[in-house]
């Protein structure tokens, strides 16, 4: 997706809280909404898991759409000519800020780790039987004599897939 199309969406998000931005994206009918919403959700999840920050304390400090690699394709034109089609991509950079006075949320992992340490564990030993390779008999599934449904193939043949009228 071209950076100009993405910029139409992300320019409205600067300075908004994370929840406001996601709510705003739900009501826009642009094609860039889905990748941007996915990026904002990923940033929120990273802030919650890696830095123990609350979702309510996050806001979008900076969001930029830069040019990514351009895929170049060719389209045939009249009189034997061809023109280039540039399929543009974009790199979106998102920086989330934390509201002043925000405190880290108590980690759930630490609380569960302490409760696990408090429980006494009982050791259970299982007997392991050593078996030589000659004693182990491998069963090979037999595919001979079975129909295509039982072998996991569909009824359509190879030629029907190649010479199909439907394209795409």
Quick: pLDDT tens for 3-54: 999 999 999 999 999 999 999 999 999 999 999 999 999 999 999 999 889 9
Residue 45 lies in a domain: yes
Other CB atoms within a 10 A radius of the CB of residue 46 amount to: 13
Position 77 pLDDT exceeds 60: yes
**CB atoms inside a 10 Å sphere around CB 21:** 24
Tell me, yes or no, whether 17 lies in a domain.
yes
Report residue 157's pLDDT band, with 50, 70 and 90 as the boundaries: low
What is the arithmetic mean of pLDDT over 81-97?
A: 96
The verdict on residue 105 lying in a domain is no
Q: What percent of the chain has pLDDT over 70?
A: 65
Within a domain: 32: yes
Strand partners, 60: 96
Average pLDDT over residues 66-78: 96
Is 69 within a domain?
yes
Which CATH number goes with the domain that contains 13?
A: 3.90.470.10
Beta bridge partners, 17, equal 59
H or E segment and range at residue 59: strand 58-67
Q: Quick one: pLDDT at residue 100?
A: 87
pLDDT for res 14: 93
What is the pLDDT, as a whole number, of residue 114?
Answer: 59
63 found inside a domain: yes
Confidence of residue 148 (pLDDT cuts 50, 70, 90): low
Token readout for 72 is 């170049």
Domain count, the chain: 1
- Quick one: pLDDT at residue 25? 95
- Whether residue 134 is contained in a domain is answered as no
CA distances from 162 to 82, 104, 149, 154, 167 (A): 27, 58, 21, 15, 10
**Any domain includes 67:** yes
Instruction: List the domain range (segments joined by +) for residue 25.
Output: 3-100
d(CA 149, CA 152): 5
User: How many CB atoms are located within 10 Å of the residue 57 CB?
Assistant: 19
**Is the CB of residue 82 less than 8 Å from the CB of residue 30?**
no
> Quick one: pLDDT at residue 36?
96
pLDDT band at residue 102 using 50, 70 and 90 as cut-offs: confident
Residues 95 and 63: beta-carbon distance below 8 Å: yes
What pLDDT does 139 receive?
61
């Amino acid at each position: 997706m071209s950076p100009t199309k993405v910029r139409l969406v992300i320019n409205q998000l600067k300075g908004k809280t994370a929840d406001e931005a996601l709510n705003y994206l739900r009501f826009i009918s642009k094609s860039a909404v889905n990748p941007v919403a996915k990026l904002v959700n990923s940033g929120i999840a990273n802030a919650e898991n890696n830095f123990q920050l609350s979702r309510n304390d996050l806001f979008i400090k900076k969001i930029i759409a830069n040019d990514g690699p351009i895929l170049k394709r060719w389209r045939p034109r009249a009189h034997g000519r061809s023109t280039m089609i540039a399929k543009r991509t974009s790199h979106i950079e998102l920086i989330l800020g934390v509201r002043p006075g925000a405190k880290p949320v108590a980690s759930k992992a630490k609380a569960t780790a302490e409760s696990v340490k408090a429980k006494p564990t009982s050791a259970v030993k299982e007997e392991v039987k050593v078996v030589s390779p000659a004693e182990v008999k491998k069963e090979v599934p037999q595919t001979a004599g079975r129909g295509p449904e039982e072998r996991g193939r569909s009824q359509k043949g190879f030629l029907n897939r190649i010479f199909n009228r439907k394209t795409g």
